[in-house]
């Protein structure tokens, strides 16, 4: 096994090869899996296409999910952006709508790319596709961005967790935001070091975020947290690209996230026993869904 064990190792490898983290991960994965870089590139290209299809499906949708808890909000938000009724501007508004769109598709049993998880599936595609479209980034840069994100996700999964049941939502939406932030930094020409700082900043921003799905379904508050997650990724990327550095290195932030997750009560880790899931309204909704 030759997988990189830390973000710092990924950065050092990229700097030594005078390339980006995405290219390092592409070649590393090809060597580890015994496959060609062309084959892996095409597979990632297919993932990007599925991401775009899930965004488009979610933005068109106006129907509620089978549970009735979600659906149609992404379309509503996109209309508000198009009518200039939002305050964050076109790029942010479209990113928020796309993140919610993919999460709504997931809630309706549609096809998504679970990167890193189904519960956080809207953050990475929303960040990549929005930056790609708004900044006219070539598709190949976005595909390499997915390899950057994949490398960051692999390190997080090895050093900590990407599971809400183990680490809370910081491990799902937090990891997704960290992956997305690093990816879009490299997509627009940022350095590997800046990508690492973006990763650290994004993950720091949500340390301690609990996983508290109402009625145990990945809808409330998960879908709106995908919107918050892509905003977090954009914030972290902008800070890093401006030269703002994380005082705590990315690998130490990942370790802190693991430690925080281990300290959390099980009621706050996907069991629907605490947090928002324990509110009076959430309990009423759960009883209605369970018909009891």
Model confidence pLDDT, tens digit, residues 158-175: 999 999 999 999 999 999
> Which sequence spans correspond to the domains of the chain?
7-290
User: Is residue 221 a contact partner of residue 212, using CB atoms and an 8 Å limit?
Assistant: yes
Share of the chain above pLDDT 70, in %: 99
* DSSP helix/strand/coil, 291: coil
Tokens of 148: 């950057």
Closest CA relative to residue 223, chosen from 291, 290, 276? 276
pLDDT value at residue 183: 98
pLDDT value at residue 4: 86
Region 214-233: mean pLDDT is: 98
pLDDT value at residue 115: 96
Alpha-carbon gap, residue 276 to 210, rounded angstroms? 9
Residues in Cβ contact with 257 at an 8 Å cutoff, skipping those fewer than 6 apart:
156, 160, 167, 170, 171, 174, 203, 207
Residue 255, burial from CB neighbour count under 10 angstroms (0-12, 13-18, 19+): middle
pLDDT value at residue 23: 98
First to last CA, the chain: 51
In the numeric block, the tokens 């009423």 are attached to 284
User: Is residue 170 a contact partner of residue 208, using CB atoms and an 8 Å limit?
Assistant: yes
In the predicted structure, residue 233 carries a pLDDT above the cut 90:
yes
User: DSSP character for 64?
Assistant: P
How many residues would you count in the chain? 292
pLDDT value at residue 195: 99
pLDDT value at residue 1: 40
Region 21-29: mean pLDDT is: 97
Region 194-203: mean pLDDT is: 99
In the predicted structure, residue 97 carries a pLDDT above the cut 60:
yes
Mean pLDDT, the chain, rounded, equals 97
Residues in Cβ contact with 73 at an 8 Å cutoff, skipping those fewer than 6 apart:
100, 104, 223
In the predicted structure, residue 292 carries a pLDDT above the cut 80:
no
pLDDT value at residue 290: 84
User: Is residue 115 a contact partner of residue 153, using CB atoms and an 8 Å limit?
Assistant: yes
Alpha-carbon gap, residue 68 to 248, rounded angstroms? 42
User: Is residue 21 a contact partner of residue 195, using CB atoms and an 8 Å limit?
Assistant: yes
Could you tell me which residues are beta bridge partners of residue 211?
A: 269
The CATH number of 7-290, from 1.10.4100, 1.10.1760, 3.30.1490, 3.40.50, is 1.10.4100
Alpha-carbon gap, residue 115 to 226, rounded angstroms? 12
Q: Tens digits of per-residue pLDDT, 55-77?
A: 999 999 999 999 999 999 999 99
pLDDT value at residue 277: 98
In the predicted structure, residue 50 carries a pLDDT above the cut 70:
yes
* Other residues' Cβ atoms within 10 Å of the Cβ of residue 50: 14
User: Is residue 170 a contact partner of residue 207, using CB atoms and an 8 Å limit?
Assistant: yes
Alpha-carbon gap, residue 121 to 42, rounded angstroms? 20
In the numeric block, the tokens 């390339």 are attached to 19
């Amino acid at each position: 096994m030759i997988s990189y064990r830390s973000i710092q190792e990924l950065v050092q490898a990229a700097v030594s090869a005078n390339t980006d983290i995405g290219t390092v991960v592409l070649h590393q994965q090809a060597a580890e899996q015994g496959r060609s870089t062309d084959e892996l590139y095409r597979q990632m290209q297919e993932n990007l296409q599925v991401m775009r299809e899930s965004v488009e499906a979610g933005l068109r949708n106006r129907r509620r999910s089978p549970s009735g808890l979600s659906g149609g909000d992404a379309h509503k938000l996109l209309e508000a952006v198009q009518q200039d009724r939002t305050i964050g501007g076109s790029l942010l508004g479209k990113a928020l709508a796309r993140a919610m769109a993919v999460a709504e598709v997931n809630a309706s049993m549609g096809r998504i790319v679970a990167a890193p998880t189904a519960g956080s599936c809207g953050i990475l595609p929303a960040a990549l596709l929005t930056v790609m479209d708004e900044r006219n980034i070539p598709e190949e840069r976005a595909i390499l961005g997915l390899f950057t994100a994949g490398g960051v996700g692999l390190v997080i999964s090895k050093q900590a967790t990407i599971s809400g049941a183990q680490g809370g939502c910081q491990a799902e939406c937090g990891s997704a935001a960290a992956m997305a932030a690093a990816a879009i930094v490299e997509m627009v020409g940022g350095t590997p070091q800046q990508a690492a700082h973006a990763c650290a900043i994004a993950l720091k921003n949500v340390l301690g975020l609990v996983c508290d799905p109402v009625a145990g379904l990945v809808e409330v508050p998960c879908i709106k947290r995908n919107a918050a997650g892509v905003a977090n990724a954009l914030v972290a990327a902008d800070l890093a690209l401006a030269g703002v550095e994380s005082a705590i290195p990315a690998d130490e932030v990942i370790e802190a996230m693991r430690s925080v997750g281990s300290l959390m009560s099980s009621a706050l880790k996907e069991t629907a026993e605490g947090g928002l899931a324990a509110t009076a309204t959430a309990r009423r909704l759960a009883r209605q869904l369970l018909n009891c």
